[in-house]
Structure 1
Amino acid sequence: MNAGNLEKRFNSRRIKVKIFNMVSVGVIDEPINKFYDVISIIAIILNLAAAFAITFDYMEEHYKGLLLAIEAVTTAFFAVDYVLRIVSANELYPKLSEGKSIIRYIFSFTGLIDLLSFLPYYLPVFFPAGSTVFRLFRVARILRLFRINSYYDQLNVITEVIVSKSQQLLASVFIIFILMLASSLCMYSVEHEAQPRVFQNAFSGLWWSASTLLTVGYGDIYPVTITGKILGIIISFLGVGMVAIPTGIISAGFVEQYQRLKTVGDYAEEENLHFIRVKILESDTWNEKKIIELALPRDVIIVAIQRGADTIIPRGDTVIKKNDIVVMCAEKIKEIQPIDLKEIVINEGHSWNGVAIKNLDISRQSYIFMVRRNGKAILPKGSLVIKAGDVVLLYEKHVKNENV
């Protein structure tokens, strides 16, 4: 393969990566990515608002043209978004080939939602006879609201709780289903002779048991016999307990999730990790450099970048910019030679006042590593003159006695 083909493949891959970062939720290391996230949220909200508003006679009479235009534009945006996600599908599933990654996305849950959010809108153009059915499928676009759920950690907790407690929730639903079947058959057996038109079959009993167990109580079907009423009371009590089971599971999941988020700092301490923050200035060597270009020590990683009000999860091609606050993580080392840290406040009568660091009479095992002046940290140089009001930070190494 010649150099020209390699360059084309590299440029193609770079474009796909940029597209993937743009359509991915929460990747805001570039202005266009953040702008695309905002446009996506606005499109979803406007599309659903237009779909609801046009069902009102007044809105349809006075603003039908505007609402249809909003629906057309936002649906076109959904179609473009779907195409962009197909183009960058290989970045979503990097372990698969390009063709398999596209198929994987198309038949995934999110892929099907993305497809149904725009395809039924255009199908009546080719199949006018099925416009009513296609309009029903267009309701699937409301599922795109789950994308908004991904933009905010507070909303995303709901999804995480349901996924983490899915087994318990399925078990509780299965128990409710068994109770519904049992209670429907029991009530049918007791009430069929007294109310043959009301409890015509087991399904009639199933409808009653569902409304009773789930505490809805429509009142259209109810027992009239003494045995049926007693059975109804028992099933009603069971229904209250059965509804409380999934409610308790979800409530416990929320408590666990928020407790986990609250103690993440303690977890880092237990894992013997240490985090530091560094603000990047225009003169720093890291300014306008990609993370992959930084010569970081082996055990140090960049875990987050705070840029203004946004927090960016860094990637290798993320560019560090001026005024960014870089959060780095490293493992604490316990087996280290003891160091005594000292903080010396310089007053007018102090012997160091007005003396350059290189001229200070200090021990060879003592090192000045920082000078704080007027709230600012100054890296010490030999020519730096200590002044009154400065806070000098130094450390002293313990020298092991080799004769012991």
Structure 2
Amino acid sequence: MFNISLGKIAFLSYDDDIVTFIVLRKKLFNIIEPAGNKFETPSLVFDKTVIILISINIISIILESFPQVNEQYESLFRLIEIISISFFTIEYLLRLLTSDLKYPASSRLRSLLYYVLTPMALIDLFAIIPFYIPFLFTIDLRFIRVLRLTRLLRILKINRYSNSLQLLGRVLNRAKEKLIVTMFVTFILMLFASTAMFYLETDKQPEAFPNIIASFWWAIATLTTVGYGDVYPITLWGKILAGIVALLGVGLVALPTGIISSGFIEEYESTLHISKSIKKARNGGNSNKSKVQRLLRTKRRKSNR
């Protein structure tokens, strides 16, 4: 009987540990996820801390480009980097630990893989991995300097806490097919323009238009209406072609702008409609709790796209 009692006690203790771990994981998930309202104090503090750290990192990266400032405050910049890396590494590990709460799947491994391959998770990873690479591999100093540029990716982490950037991301995601078609049409036009300009100008300007690939620079500058003036046609037919391409460029530049603008308006109106529906359902009392939860899930799915 004594052995059975000990076994029961051990089992209950183990069961309590599991429950405590699940509750703790849920609390951590609620903290590291963007705050849903102003009453979620721990989450708000975490969000503000991340934004402040990112801002400090960007300022330090800019100041490091000044040789005198970098030499004088090198130790301070190093301390900022260590603190930031430590914080962002812990954040990344916590997001891995709670990945199944954000992306439920048939197994923890599937949830983990799904999260790791999301754009924000990749940004989180690339924002910290350059710090650890020199400790794992012997690499050239010049390559380390290139890797340090990836610290700028930390600014993209703000997307997680900015409704405006999330809105823009959803707009681009919805309009991606139209934008791809626009880019393809633009490429075809640049190919025809650069090919035609090569045959029209190569005899008169062999250095400016030596081949079709080199002529692409002129086509890009003309289609985007930039017109740097370093390469330009001098023959009559070349000038006529350049005028036609420049006029077409005005329309092509305006096309993606119109697509994004219309998509932005549609997405904004959709988000505004959901927010108004949530507010209306909440004012309806307890009878509308299920509707509120359903609308909140819809809003959350839109934010995670």
TM over 0.5: yes
SS in 2 for 1:200: coil
Tell me if the contact between 1:89 and 1:102 (Cα under 8 Å) persists in the aligned partners: yes
Letter of the structure 1 residue corresponding to residue 184 of structure 2: F
Could you say which residue in structure 2 is the equivalent of 1:250?
260
Distance 1:260 1:37 in 2: 26
In structure 2, relative to structure 1, the CA distance for the partners of 1:100 and 1:131 (3 Å cut) is farther
In structure 2, relative to structure 1, the CA distance for the partners of 1:61 and 1:220 (3 Å cut) is same
Distance 2:220 2:58 in 1: 31
In structure 2, relative to structure 1, the CA distance for the partners of 1:129 and 1:144 (3 Å cut) is closer
Deviations 1:320-366 (A, max 9, x none): xxxxxxxxxxxxxxxxxxxxxxxxxxxxxxxxxxxxxxxxxxxxxxx
Given the alignment, which residue of 282, 292, 295 partners 1:303? Answer: 292
Letter of the structure 2 residue corresponding to residue 41 of structure 1: I
Q: Which runs of 5+ in 1 are unaligned?
A: 279-295, 305-312, 315-404
Given the alignment, which residue of 9, 15, 20 partners 1:11? Answer: 20
Letter of the structure 2 residue corresponding to residue 44 of structure 1: I
Distance 1:265 1:30 in 2: 19
Deviation at 1:277, TM superposition (A): 7.0
Could you say which residue in structure 2 is the equivalent of 1:234?
244
Could you say which residue in structure 1 is the equivalent of 2:300?
none
Distance 1:202 1:119 in 2: 40
Deviations 1:78-117 (A, max 9, x none): 1111111111112122224222322222232222211111
In structure 2, relative to structure 1, the CA distance for the partners of 1:101 and 1:261 (3 Å cut) is closer
In structure 2, relative to structure 1, the CA distance for the partners of 1:274 and 1:35 (3 Å cut) is closer
In structure 2, relative to structure 1, the CA distance for the partners of 1:103 and 1:134 (3 Å cut) is farther
Could you say which residue in structure 1 is the equivalent of 2:66?
56
Aligned residues: 285
Could you say which residue in structure 2 is the equivalent of 1:25?
34
Tell me if the contact between 2:167 and 2:267 (Cα under 8 Å) persists in the aligned partners: yes
Distance 1:113 1:163 in 2: 17
SS in 2 for 1:162: helix
Deviation at 1:186, TM superposition (A): 0.9
Identity of aligned residues (%): 32
SS in 2 for 1:129: coil
Could you say which residue in structure 1 is the equivalent of 2:80?
70
In structure 2, relative to structure 1, the CA distance for the partners of 1:94 and 1:131 (3 Å cut) is farther
| Larger CA Rg, structure 1 vs 2 | 1
Tell me if the contact between 1:25 and 1:151 (Cα under 8 Å) persists in the aligned partners: yes
Deviations 1:135-162 (A, max 9, x none): 3233333333333233232343222222
Letter of the structure 1 residue corresponding to residue 283 of structure 2: I
Deviation at 1:274, TM superposition (A): 5.0
Letter of the structure 2 residue corresponding to residue 21 of structure 1: N
Deviation at 1:191, TM superposition (A): 1.1
Tell me if the contact between 2:171 and 2:264 (Cα under 8 Å) persists in the aligned partners: yes
Letter of the structure 2 residue corresponding to residue 26 of structure 1: A
Deviation at 1:262, TM superposition (A): 4.9
Distance 1:74 1:44 in 2: 8
Tell me if the contact between 2:126 and 2:153 (Cα under 8 Å) persists in the aligned partners: no
| Greater RCO (Cα-Cα under 8 Å, separation 6 or more) | 2
SS in 2 for 1:223: coil
Distance 2:72 2:41 in 1: 38
Tell me if the contact between 1:23 and 1:33 (Cα under 8 Å) persists in the aligned partners: yes
* 1:4-403 equivalence runs, <5 A: 4-27=13-36, 30-263=40-273, 275-276=282-283, 300-301=289-290, 303=292
TM-score (norm 2): 0.83
Tell me if the contact between 2:194 and 2:216 (Cα under 8 Å) persists in the aligned partners: yes
